[in-house]
């Protein structure tokens, strides 16, 4: 019978528990019974959870012939004997109902209701299951590549996952059938359908990758305090251990970088700096600016700003490519970091950039300071090409700045 076959189809391989499926099937049939008989009080619905077989029984009280007042609840002794000769007056008569008695139209409507109910239950189960797994890593195979997103089949459950291109690392290139690893970022309901969004750019992805690679993190011997990333470019991770015998940075990197190399490859050669966490903010900022070596730091704790002084050859290291190192150091420590070059070792006269506010626009000066140039000579020490490359300034603007600064020293 179609309705029973539908149940057998749906119960196979579904994540919904059997008691729930049985309850749905019972509800569907009790609705059929109510429509046909007006009530389901005198009926039993029995579902075999092993094979999906179903039995419907009409239960009526046996009364003497001629005393039936409610044919739904009572049956005469003569009619009862046609079912089983051993029945007596006063007993309950059990009569099995053929499902076909409900009619083809009613059965097809019930089948649609059953399918709809089970699909809704499955959607709820998928939503609940993945909602509980937010932050976990998943692995799946790319099933479809769309313009704005990739559709991925979860290897573990067979459910569809969504990887938006905005959650992909720059340099990610996938083809249909490729295996992708990502972290579950969020689970949403769109038009009553669960949508599982995964990410390769979220900081949690790096954190979970480290948990997989470093047993000491999974065991709780090392704690990851914070992770900041510019996906595919650079990341900084602060770690600490409450066991003095464990070097948290060394444990995370591994012998000859064995533990971190796999993570770097997964993240498309993202440069990962791992630093020891400390409550000493001066020391923490120094560590956060790795690989640069800091000479001195002046803190403004109220404004949460730090003025960092470095030797000339360390400034570019502190800033990093496109300002990546100093941006991440600021995010990691929670302090806005300003980089300053130490006084020229040869005692050459220099002029602070702020002295040129009458000739150079403020936003141009800000751009120069963002790359660690706070004096005229620190700008002139960089080539025209490097200034253009490291700032967002137009060629003509850079030429004008160089003209003004060179003129200052020519006058002297």
Q: What CATH number is associated with residue 167? A: 2.40.50.140
Residue 412 has pLDDT above 60, yes or no: no
- Residues 339-380: tens digit of each pLDDT: 877 755 444 567 788 888 888 888 888 888 877 787 888 888
Tokens of 410: 């020519």
Average pLDDT score over the chain: 85
Residues 90 and 172 in one domain: no
Residues 49 and 114 in one domain: yes
Residues 37 and 95 in one domain: yes
Segment 193-203 shows an average pLDDT of 94
Domain boundary (129, 158, 181) is at 129
Residue 311 domain-assigned (yes or no)? no
Alpha carbons 88 and 95: distance in angstroms, whole number: 15
Q: In this predicted model, which residue has the larger pLDDT, 239 or 27?
A: 239
Residue 144 domain-assigned (yes or no)? yes
Q: Look at the chain and report how many structural domains it folds into.
A: 3
Domain of residue 31: give its range. 2-129
Residues 187, 131: contact at Cβ < 8 Å?
A: yes
What is the pLDDT at residue 148? 92
Residue 247 domain-assigned (yes or no)? no
Ranked by mean pLDDT, which of 78-87, 121-130, 213-222, 381-390 comes out on top? 213-222
Residue 95 domain-assigned (yes or no)? yes
Domain boundary (70, 102, 129) is at 129
Residues 361 and 390 in one domain: yes
Segment 282-309 shows an average pLDDT of 91
Residue 27 has pLDDT above 80, yes or no: yes
What is the pLDDT at residue 44? 85
Residues 77 and 24 in one domain: yes
Residue 161 has pLDDT above 80, yes or no: yes
Percent share of the chain, pLDDT over 70: 92
Burial group, residue 337, by CB count within 10 angstroms (0-12, 13-18, 19+): buried
Residues 124 and 170 in one domain: no
Residues 191 and 83 in one domain: no
What is the pLDDT at residue 327? 92
What is the pLDDT at residue 1? 46
- Residues 199-233: tens digit of each pLDDT: 999 999 999 999 999 999 989 999 999 999 999 99
Residues 395 and 373 in one domain: yes
Closest CA to 296 of 284, 311, 313: 311
Residue 159 domain-assigned (yes or no)? yes
Residue 138 domain-assigned (yes or no)? yes
Contacts of 14 (CB under 8 A, 6+ apart): 21, 118, 122
Q: In this predicted model, which residue has the larger pLDDT, 224 or 69?
A: 224
Residue 144 has pLDDT above 90, yes or no: yes
Residues 7 and 32 in one domain: yes
Residue 13 has pLDDT above 50, yes or no: no
Q: Any idea what the CATH number is for the domain that residue 35 is in?
A: 3.30.1480.10
Weakest-pLDDT range from 231-245, 315-329, 366-380: 366-380
Residues 137 and 122 in one domain: no
Q: Is the pTM of this model over 0.75?
A: no
- b/e burial code for range 156-187 (CB count within 10 A of at least 16 → b): ebebbbbbeeebbbeebeeeeeeebebbbbeb
Residue 185 domain-assigned (yes or no)? yes
Domain boundary (129, 147, 173) is at 129
Residue 143 domain-assigned (yes or no)? yes
Residue 285 has pLDDT above 80, yes or no: yes
Segment 94-114 shows an average pLDDT of 79
What is the pLDDT at residue 377? 82
User: What is the maximum span of the chain, computed from C-alpha positions, in angstroms?
Assistant: 129
Residues 149 and 70 in one domain: no
Residues 101 and 148 in one domain: no
What is the pLDDT at residue 8? 54
What is the pLDDT at residue 353? 84
Number of Cβ within 10 Å of residue 301's Cβ equals 9
């Amino acid at each position: 019978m179609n309705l029973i076959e539908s149940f057998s189809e749906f119960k196979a391989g579904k994540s919904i528990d059997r008691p729930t499926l049985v309850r749905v099937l019972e509800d569907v049939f009790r609705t059929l019974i109510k429509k046909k008989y007006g009530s389901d009080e005198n009926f039993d619905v029995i579902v075999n959870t092993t094979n999906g077989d179903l039995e419907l029984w009409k239960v009526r009280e046996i009364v003497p012939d001629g005393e039936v007042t409610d044919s739904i609840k009572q049956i005469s002794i003569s009619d009862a004997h046609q079912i089983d000769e051993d029945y007596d007056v006063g007993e309950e008569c059990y009569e099995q109902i053929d499902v076909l008695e409900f009619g083809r139209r009613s059965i097809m409507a019930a089948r649609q209701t059953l399918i709809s109910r089970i699909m809704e239950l499955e959607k709820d189960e998928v939503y609940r299951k993945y909602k509980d797994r937010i932050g976990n890593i998943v692995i799946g195979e790319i099933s479809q590549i769309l313009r704005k997103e990739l559709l991925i089949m979860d290897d573990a459950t067979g459910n569809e996952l969504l990887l938006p291109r905005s959650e992909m690392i720059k340099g990610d290139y996938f083809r249909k059938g490729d295996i992708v690893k990502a972290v579950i970022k969020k689970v949403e309901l769109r038009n009553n359908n669960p949508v599982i969004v995964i990410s390769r750019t979220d900081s949690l992805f790096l954190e979970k990758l480290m948990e997989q690679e470093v047993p000491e993190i999974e065991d709780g011997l090392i704690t990851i305090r914070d992770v900041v990333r510019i996906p595919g470019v650079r990341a900084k991770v602060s770690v600490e251990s409450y066991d003095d015998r464990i070097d948290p940075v060394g444990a995370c990197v591994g012998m000859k970088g064995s533990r971190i190399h796999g993570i770097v490859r997964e993240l498309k050669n993202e440069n990962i700096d791992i630093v020891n966490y400390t409550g000493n903010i001066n020391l923490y900022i120094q560590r956060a600016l790795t690989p640069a070596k800091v000479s001195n730091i002046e803190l403004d704790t109220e404004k949460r700003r730090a003025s960092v002084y470095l030797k000339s050859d360390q400034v570019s290291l502190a800033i990093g490519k496109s300002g990546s190192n100093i941006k991440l150091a600021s995010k990691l420590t929670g302090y806005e970091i300003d980089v300053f070059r130490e006084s020229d070792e040869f005692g050459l006269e220099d002029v602070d950039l702020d002295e040129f506010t009458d000739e150079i626009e403020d936003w141009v000066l800000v751009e120069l300071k963002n790359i660690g140039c706070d004096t005229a000579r620190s700008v002139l020490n960089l080539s025209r090409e490097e200034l253009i490359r490291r700032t967002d300034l137009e060629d003509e603007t850079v030429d004008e700045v160089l003209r003004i600064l060179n003129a200052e020293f020519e006058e002297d």
